[in-house]
Amino acid sequence: MTAKFYIVGNWKMNQKLEDINSFFNDLGEFSTERQYEAWLAPQAIHLPTLLEKAKPLKIEVGSQNISDNDSGAHTGETSPSSLLDAGGSFTLVGHSERRAIYKETDEFINRKTLLSLEKGLTVIFCCGETLEEREKGMTESVVGHQIEDGLKDIPENLREKIIVAYEPVWAIGTGKTASPEQAEEVHLFIRTKLTELWDGTLAHKIPLLYGGSVKPANVEGLLIQQNIDGALVGGASLKGADFKALCDAADKRSKIPGQLQG
Ligand code: PGA
């Protein structure tokens, strides 16, 4: 359990301008006085629109992907410094869709993570096993390696700007959520791994988000787990009313006394 809960919407390659307008209309009453964090990652092209609409609501805006270079001849990429310059504050790195479709390796993901942190972004580092890997009992070895290799050589002073998102590939966009117990088991493993790699005090400050078919109907059961500090949400973050319902659950969870640390 870390100091705050997080609801992060990953809009993926969805949302036209009219959908974005509807999203903000449907958010309804959205208090800016809150103990939890509400963040959104739109397509890069919508970053300015999002910043205009989300910043007044104290919703942080970030990128779904980032370059491993900061400037120059890298057609089609987004540089960490430009993202910051435009007003973005975080980026996802190593999402399973990038790993699977665009063949991103742990080494490449590590370079992106390091550069983004050095430039001042917060990194949401994604990891998770496929169904085949889970069925073969390889969940811990796969996730363990993704963390060891992807978070290799991160200087001590930059580690606090990392958030880890555990997203079992078999639960993403499938409607099949990991049960709260299944998710908690892996989150505890990740917390222990970070304790081994770094140290316990820091490991307990790194927010661990769960992702994979999270929706208003199942989010409370996930957030109540000891090592689940928030959710990274795709499909259910596209509609303002659903995003608000997820945020309300984080708000409710944040108000349970004596739970928060860090
Ligand atoms: P989902 O996506 O909530 O639609 O399963 C989560 C993610 O890929 O981040």
* pLDDT 10s digits, 91-127: 999 999 999 999 999 999 999 999 999 999 999 999 9
The predicted-structure confidence for 61-102, as pLDDT tens digits, reads as follows 999 999 999 999 999 999 999 999 999 999 999 999 999 999
In short, whether 246's Cβ falls inside 6 Å of ligand 1 is no
Mutate which of 15, 40, 174, 214 for ligand 1? The one with the most ligand atoms within 8 Å of its CB, which is 214
**Tell me, what's the pLDDT at 28?**
86
Q: What is the mean pLDDT of residues 229-237?
A: 98
**pLDDT tens by residue, 124-151:** 999 999 999 999 999 999 999 999 999 9
Q: Who contacts 25 (Cβ-Cβ below 8 Å, separation ≥6)?
A: 240
- Spot the catalytic one: 37, 46, 60, 95: 95
pLDDT of residue 257: 66
Of residues 260 and 50, more confidence is placed in 50
Name residues whose C-beta falls within 8 Å of residue 94's C-beta, 6 or more positions apart in sequence: 104, 106, 109, 112, 113, 125, 126, 127, 146, 150
Ligand 1 near 60 CB (within 6 A): no
Residue entry with tokens 């959908």: 19
Q: Where are the domains of the chain?
A: 6-254
AA identity, residue 168 = P
Which atom number of ligand 1 is nearest to the Cα of residue 173?
Answer: 5
The residue among 110, 112, 52, 109 whose CA lies nearest residue 86 is 52
N- to C-terminal Cα separation, the chain: 8
Domain 6-254, CATH: 3.20.20.70
Q: State whether the beta carbon of 128 lies less than 6 angstroms from ligand 1.
A: no
Percent of the chain whose predicted confidence (pLDDT) is above 70: 97
pLDDT band at 260 (very low <50, low <70, confident <90, very high): low
What is the distance between the alpha carbons of residues 239 and 23, in angstroms, rounded to a whole number?
5
pLDDT of residue 258 exceeding 90: no
In angstroms, the CA 89 to CA 81 distance is 10
Output the pLDDT for position 72. Answer: 97
Among the residues of 209-255, which ranges form H helices?
216-223, 240-254
Residue 29 among the catalytic residues: no
Query: Residue 191 and residue 162: Cα distance in Å, rounded?
Result: 13
Angle between helices 106-119 and 139-150 (to 10 degrees): 50
| Token pair for 7 | 């609801």
Cα-to-centroid distance, 168 and ligand 1 (Å) = 10
pLDDT (tens digit, 9 = 90+) per residue, 157-216?
Answer: 999 999 999 999 999 988 888 999 999 999 999 999 999 999 889 999 999 999 999 999
Which residue is associated with the tokens 């700007």? 161
pLDDT digits (tens, 9 = 90+) for 186-199: 999 999 999 999 98
Question: What tokens does 201 get?
Answer: 């005090």
Using CB atoms within 10 Å of the CB of residue 32, give its burial: 0 to 12 exposed, 13 to 18 middle, 19+ buried.
exposed
Ligand 1 site, residue 231, Cβ cutoff 6 A:
no
